[in-house]
Amino acid sequence: MSQPSTITSERVVTLGPYRIYPHRRLVLEIDRPLRLGSRAMDILLMLLENAGAVVGKDQLIARVWPDSVVEEINLRVHVAALRKALGDGHSGQRYIINVPQRGYSLVAPLSWQETENGTDGVQQSAPPSNLPPHLSRIIGRAEVVSRLVKLVRKQRLVTLVGPGGIGKTMVALHVAELLLEHYPQGVYLLDLAPLNEPAAVAAKLAATLKLPRHSDEPVDDLANFLAARQMLLVLDNCEHLIDVIAVLADALLKASPRLHILATSREALRIEDEYVRRIGPLECPPPVGAEDREQALRFTALQLLVERARASQDAFELTDSELPIASELCRRLDGIPLAIELAAAQIGNLGMRGVLAQLSADFRLLPPGRRTALPRQKTLYSTLDWSHDLLTPRDQACLRRLGIFRGRFTLESASAVIAASDIAADQVPQSIGQLVGKSLVQVKIVEDQVYYRLLETTRTYALEKLRHAGELPATQQRQAENCSTLLSHAHQEWGKIPRQRWLDRYAYCLDDLRSALDWGFSATGIGALAVRLTVASTALWQALSLLKEHERYVGKALAVLQGQVAPCPQLELALRLVQGNAWYHTQGGKPATIAAFVMARQLAERCNDFNAELNAISGLMAVNLSSGHYREALEQTRHFNKLCRLGPAELAPSAIRLQGLAEHFAGNQTLARRFAEQARAHLSRDERRNHFTQGFGVQYDQEVAVLTLMARTLWLQGYPEQAWQMADQALQTALRIDHGTSICYTLALSAWVIAQYNGNSAAADNLLRLFHERALAHNLRFFHTWARHYSALAGSEHAPSMADYQGLISDTLATLDPRFADEAVLDRAASGEAGWVTAEILRVKATRLLARQQPDQIAAECLLAQAAAIARQQGALAWELRCATSLAQLRQRQGRRQDAYVLLAAVYGRFSEGFATPDLLKAKQLLDELQG
């Protein structure tokens, strides 16, 4: 029974419609938590502490970023996010004002009171969602949103249609936010704007949903995944991929009866049961009859103009004399929200009359190539032209160069891409601030990091300007160089900060990385730069387990190097290591994989690169282990252990773990456990234990790998319960860091195998499904082959041909089901090449001799005695028990019941746990028979 919560008093602030709990860092709006980032919350709390007084910008920066040096624009962005979240300026209510040259002040009336903590009925959890926080207050769409909320719940496919800039996305996001509680399995947004390739749509949606993969076809996986889920998908910016979106949406809706889709597009999808809702312009005051201020402000276009003007200029107030000018401005802009925002952003500089005068004088239709655009689309592009022409030449250059970014970007990346001979890097922040203030650049805060982005309409416009200016090639080069620098930093931080924080910091640039590599390897690109970028991005591809995709770029990079007169050996070395790692996971220990690691080792020796040589040797060791060449792998560990003694201390856990792994597979379980415990002790002293701890060679998280080794060794030593606990801990660690190759590694070698050994069929079935999903999701063909073989053992599918997978897979299967012990496996055991499975394979051979019509008991008994001796020598009590059971059965058949009992009881008595597992149950049943 749960204990009642302790009720204590707590001070609460009432600020307009909000209740603020400072100690809990919680803001409620009508009993719903308001989503604020920690920076915005810090700012709010400091302003609350100094309510009514001006808090200096330096004071706020020192409080919010105590250990960092940041640009003032960061403070402005977080204050703007806080204002948006509070609805500052909406319906005339002001909360926070800017005092020029001084700072900010909280000016709204507030009250403090004591309340009981824990009695608010705050909604503690919500369905999963990737909707952005800090949605701006929506103006003029309240009725539309209200109707759509009801409509989307009734109609399974609703498409919001309208020209660019009309506000479709904002409407869709507000509708989705209000519908969160109605979709238990979540509400997910897929922004299609950054995508160009139709084939990428289903894969992008699968990644957004963190979809478990079961097949090569993402659409099938999506249909299966969504079949029983009550979920809302928001497909935003469909127009440039309309055909593929229509097919995908139709397939998903037919396969998933509780799925609802809300799409935004400039045209309808035109599929069955689609409900099209056109989003029109905001209402504008008429030319006559709206001179009355109160009446005029009922028109939503004018409300938006005033609100956005006030957001960019604290002191703005619409005067009666400006009322008709503002109304005319709204009409001139056709009530298009984005066009109104662009114009409102200029009011602070030009005044209301100046904006209208400039717009009237400079209002152009689109260039001839755009004559087919809708009238309102022409208005929007004309407004963009007009806004662009009001910028300074420097700000114009900044805007067009920002068009190169496919998604969000940081201020640092913007500076790197924009800065050239005509613009210094230290001038970029001011220009970015100007573009943000003029609504040409959007701001997004993710985990308190400030990012910027261009709306797709603005980005398309900026790219067009970039091409016309002849700056596209130079900007593409700077973008590629920026990606290389950014991902070099990422590589240095990999393993030094928590994995999720690392991904939050770097994974967003994946689309820009692809774009930069595609350009670099194109006929107009710079191949040498693309090669460097391919190497620099290694950590990102590995972190996302996108080894196959990375390998394609590696192949292009090697082709570029081979075409050079004097290729850089260090670059080729790095590429060969990546190639070997990728091929190992996609095709196993084939000759090409071995050749990649051999070439890497030769290059490492030439370059005198100590770490790279270790990577190459351990990569070859992984190939040898998977191929069942256990002696060769053991010899390799002894060689690189000598090298490791010369290297830095942080290599110790990986070197020790690999030596333990080789000893384990060679059949030395006592040594293997000792090495595993030493490696685990090293990791336990590592302050980065909660991070992805990277070793060398084929890359898995080191903690996962050590726990996997511990689990296998413990099971063989006769501790099946501890082994299962260790295997589960390894899997949970891999799942926590969400690293695909590490998950598959521990599933292949410990979790599923030990569940089978222990007779836990329910767990084994669940683990096998997970194994298939993750291997396919990350295109890890080698591990998928393992999963298919395991499924064949479970009887759920036919196994692939064993001819290409002799070695560790065949050895493992033979220990799980004697039918898989073919002649090749038996020969390996007879020749001493089977290492850790030798005793069990010899036992299987003996049982086959006994199963003949004319059993050869003498040969079988000799084999069983030999197998038992090998098991004792290796410290493999689990195999020794199986040998003792088989030998006891033989002696029972021979009438030597007492000898059989003594033999089996001696081995059985050495166990201290696992008495409910199949092997021990079988032994106990035989003991009872022999004693009866």
558-569 pLDDT, tens digit per residue, is 999 988 888 888
Average pLDDT of span 51-73: 81
Residue-level pLDDT at 111: 80
> What DSSP string runs through 145-186?
HHHHHHHHHH-SEEEEE--TTSSHHHHHHHHHHHTGGG-TT-
Q: Is the per-residue pLDDT at 749 higher than 90?
A: yes
CA 250/CA 220 separation, integer angstroms: 13
| Winning range, highest mean pLDDT, from 230-244, 794-808, 817-831 | 230-244
**In 3D, which of 638, 670, 669, 668 has the Cα closest to residue 655?**
638
Q: Hey, what amino acid is at 606?
A: R
Residue-level pLDDT at 4: 38
Q: Is the per-residue pLDDT at 88 higher than 80?
A: no
Cα 793 to chain centroid, rounded: 33
Residue 823: pLDDT band by 50, 70, 90 thresholds? Answer: confident
Average pLDDT of span 408-424: 92
| Winning range, highest mean pLDDT, from 93-97, 260-264, 369-373 | 260-264
358-394 pLDDT, tens digit per residue, is 776 654 433 333 333 445 555 667 777 877 887 899 9
Average pLDDT of span 818-842: 88
| Winning range, highest mean pLDDT, from 65-69, 333-337, 651-655, 875-879 | 875-879
Q: Is the per-residue pLDDT at 454 higher than 70?
A: yes
Q: What backbone phi and psi angles, to 5 degrees, belong to 113? A: -155, 165
Residue-level pLDDT at 824: 85
The residue that leads in pLDDT, 360 or 763, is 763
The H-assigned helical ranges of 266-315 are 293-296, 300-312
- Helices 569-587 + 610-626 axis angle, to 10: 20
Average pLDDT of span 431-438: 84
Cα–Cα–Cα angle for 277, 281, 283, rounded to 5 degrees: 120
Task: Please check whether residue 526 is in contact with residue 517, taking contact to mean a CB–CB distance below 8 angstroms.
Answer: no
Residue-level pLDDT at 374: 46
Residue 465: pLDDT band by 50, 70, 90 thresholds? Answer: very high
Q: Same topology for domains 142-278 and 391-470, yes or no?
A: no
The residue that leads in pLDDT, 881 or 501, is 881
**In 3D, which of 648, 653, 652, 576 has the Cα closest to residue 619?**
576
Residue-level pLDDT at 588: 75
Least confident of 264-273, 356-365, 470-479: 356-365
The kind and range of the H/E element at 260 are: strand 259-265
Least confident of 378-387, 431-440, 721-730, 744-753: 378-387
Q: What backbone phi and psi angles, to 5 degrees, belong to 462? A: -65, -40
Q: Is the per-residue pLDDT at 685 higher than 60?
A: yes
- The two beta strands, 26-29 and 32-33, are antiparallel
Q: Is the per-residue pLDDT at 119 higher than 50?
A: no
As a whole number, the mean pLDDT across the chain is: 83
Q: Is the per-residue pLDDT at 802 higher than 70?
A: no
Residue 681: pLDDT band by 50, 70, 90 thresholds? Answer: confident
Residue-level pLDDT at 692: 41
CA 841/CA 864 separation, integer angstroms: 10
CA 932/CA 910 separation, integer angstroms: 22
| Sequence spans of domains, the chain | 9-116, 142-278, 282-372+382-389, 391-470, 821-931
493-546 pLDDT, tens digit per residue, is 876 777 777 888 888 889 899 999 999 999 999 999 999 999 999 888 887 878
Q: Is the per-residue pLDDT at 26 higher than 70?
A: yes
Cα–Cα–Cα angle for 877, 883, 889, rounded to 5 degrees: 135
What is the chain's Cα-based Rg?
33
Residue 206: pLDDT band by 50, 70, 90 thresholds? Answer: confident
Average pLDDT of span 677-698: 60
Q: Is the per-residue pLDDT at 1 higher than 70?
A: no
- Please identify which residue in the block is written with the tokens 């089978």: 756
Residue-level pLDDT at 332: 82
CA 212/CA 772 separation, integer angstroms: 9
Residue-level pLDDT at 361: 62
CATH fold label, 821-931:
1.25.40
Residue-level pLDDT at 902: 94
- Please identify which residue in the block is written with the tokens 């993710």: 446
Least confident of 46-55, 63-72, 260-269: 63-72
629-652 pLDDT, tens digit per residue, is 898 888 887 766 666 665 555 556
Average pLDDT of span 814-819: 90
Residue-level pLDDT at 117: 53
Least confident of 149-153, 187-191, 689-693, 896-900: 689-693
Average pLDDT of span 66-74: 76
Q: Which residues contact 901 (CB under 8 A, 6 or more apart)?
A: 888, 927, 930, 931
- Helices 323-332 + 347-362 axis angle, to 10: 50
CA 515/CA 306 separation, integer angstroms: 40
Residue-level pLDDT at 697: 45
Average pLDDT of span 844-870: 91
Residue-level pLDDT at 62: 84
At the fourth CATH level, the homologous superfamily of domain 142-278 is P-loop containing nucleotide triphosphate hydrolases (3.40.50.300)
Q: What is the CATH number of domain 9-116?
A: 1.10.10.10
210-234 pLDDT, tens digit per residue, is 776 555 567 888 888 888 889 999 9
Average pLDDT of span 726-751: 91
| Winning range, highest mean pLDDT, from 97-106, 381-390, 593-602 | 593-602
The kind and range of the H/E element at 459 are: helix 456-468
Residue 208: pLDDT band by 50, 70, 90 thresholds? Answer: confident
Q: Is the per-residue pLDDT at 930 higher than 50?
A: yes
Least confident of 62-66, 217-221, 328-332: 217-221
The residue that leads in pLDDT, 522 or 197, is 522
User: Strand, helix or coil at 259?
Assistant: strand
User: Strand, helix or coil at 235?
Assistant: strand
pTM flag (> 0.85): no
Residue 714: pLDDT band by 50, 70, 90 thresholds? Answer: very high
CATH fold label, 391-470:
Arc Repressor Mutant, subunit A (1.10.10)
